[in-house]
Amino acid sequence: MDSSSIAFKGTLQQLLEKVEKGEMIPKLQASHAPPCKFWTAFQVLNGIRHMTPVIHGPKGCTYSVANAYKMSSCEYRGVPLEPTTCTAQDEADVVYGGEGKLLEAVKEAEQRYHPELIVIFSCCCSGIIGDDVETIAQRAEQEVNAKVLAIRSEGFGGDFRSGYEDAFRVIMELMETPSEKMEKTINIIGARQGPTYTEWTQDLDEIERMVYGIGAKINGIFCGGCTLEQIRQARAAELNASWCYDWGQKLGDLMEEQFGIPYARTGLPYGLKATEEWIMGVAQPLGLEESAKHMIQKETGELTREIDTIRKFFDGKTALVEIAEFPGPIRALALARMAGEFGAHPIVINIHPYTIKERMPSIKYLLQQGQNPEVILTKGLFSLGTFRSSWQTEAELEEIATQYDNAVYLGTPMRQPGIPQVNLTTMTGYPHYGYSGIKNIARLVQSSVENASRPRSKLFRRVLYGGN
């Protein structure tokens, strides 16, 4: 392979070591980063039903998150379109302060919408001038019927990870001491609304199906459509389990440390082994091993044809799993593990050093679980500093694909690598998790085989990447 286009080639462990030593520092790191702290904090808390956010900042920040998250999430949760309000900070507020305006905005949100919960979010403007959102939340709660919380979520105050971690810390303030435990009941943690391009509600549906299938119950999904009452009852559950280990890890650790609730540390249930691990990770602490084993045997037995299809597709192949518009980093590693389980040699392409740094606890956990795939980081992605597909990374992917016989591709359908590719983002292809996911993936890989020889559109390529 032409080394001029490769910034790193080695194992995930070796890339981690380079990041820890400061040897892989991108020049455009900020442009590669996911959304800022404000966005990810909003994304988590937006998943609580009948919650009205009051954003202490300018209208632009409010429009952005409302447009991105509120529309689809309200529809999924089956509730009327919920509002996103703000204090509409202007120049005068920046000079003289906006705490009084914020208090009035909370009162108005109560009068207009009668929510169960109001959450105040600080933005960069209110953060810069130092408005005390926590004190305003305490004052407001004495004057309205709703519970009022505040989170310091100004974008410059942290990265995307601190946004959702701080949001989960905030909701812990709502969790009440239980009078008794809810037997065989768990919390699903690490969810948020609305779905991004790496998150689908159908995967949550499959997790719910598997939990109920082994005889357990779910108190709530935090924060993917949960209610305030479910959050209050969270400490009564016997166990926490992740929908996404990366997003749920901090909340699981904190609730275990502070409340003594065990945390089932399992990765994403892609494929047979990971699904079995996820199910048994829930079943064993609850004493439901026998019913879980019965479910695993039954579901696996019904998938003989699908398992054979997937195995034939991957066996002896090189599976190129690229992180681009889809999948995200943690899903890509789960896909790589699944491909390896079915006989492929997985190579994860373009897991960025920024991702390694900010997802360090999750990456180290996956390595401890034995997931250490080969990794290639291209110079196009490393220098551009963006997940998005570009003509540079498209050319580099094509070059990588030519180096391997019998290669297959898992990633964004925007690519044209010239090898069989599995379109995992088709609307009929969800969920990916669990046994229903195996059914869908089998169908998608079969479609990949049947359509491998079809030419890709030259016009589509030009629209995406330019050129002749």
- Rounded Cα–Cα distance for residues 280 and 288 (Å): 8
Q: Are 113 and 83 in contact (CB under 8 A)?
A: yes
Q: What per-residue confidence (pLDDT) applies to 30? A: 47
Q: CA angle 386-387-389, nearest 5°? A: 100
Q: Are 334 and 274 in contact (CB under 8 A)?
A: yes
Q: Are 149 and 170 in contact (CB under 8 A)?
A: yes
- Rounded Cα–Cα distance for residues 119 and 34 (Å): 23
The tokens describing 252, both together, are: 């699981």
Q: How distant, in Å, are the alpha carbons of 21, 24, 302 from that of 7? A: 16, 9, 44
Which domains are delineated in the chain? Answer: 3-32+305-465 (3.40.50), 37-158 (3.40.50.1980), 182-301 (3.40.50.1980)
Q: Are 46 and 75 in contact (CB under 8 A)?
A: no
Q: Which of 50, 53, 44 is nearest to 123 (CA)?
A: 53
Q: What per-residue confidence (pLDDT) applies to 197? A: 45
Q: CA angle 165-169-173, nearest 5°? A: 165
Q: Are 288 and 301 in contact (CB under 8 A)?
A: no
Q: CA angle 287-290-296, nearest 5°? A: 120
Q: Are 21 and 375 in contact (CB under 8 A)?
A: no
The tokens describing 291, both together, are: 């019913």
Which residues does residue 119 pair with via DSSP β-bridges, in sequence order? 53, 149
What does pLDDT average to in each consecutive run of 10 residues of the chain (468 residues)?
82 96 72 74 89 91 74 53 83 87 96 95 92 96 96 89 92 96 96 60 92 98 92 98 90 96 94 98 98 98 98 97 88 96 97 87 92 93 70 87 94 87 84 96 93 80 73
Q: What per-residue confidence (pLDDT) applies to 229? A: 97
- Please report how the helices 12-20 and 360-368 are oriented relative to each other, as an axis angle in degrees rounded to 10: 140
Q: What per-residue confidence (pLDDT) applies to 99? A: 93
The amino acid at residue 202 is: Q
Is the torsion defined by CA of 399, 402, 408, 414 positive or negative? positive
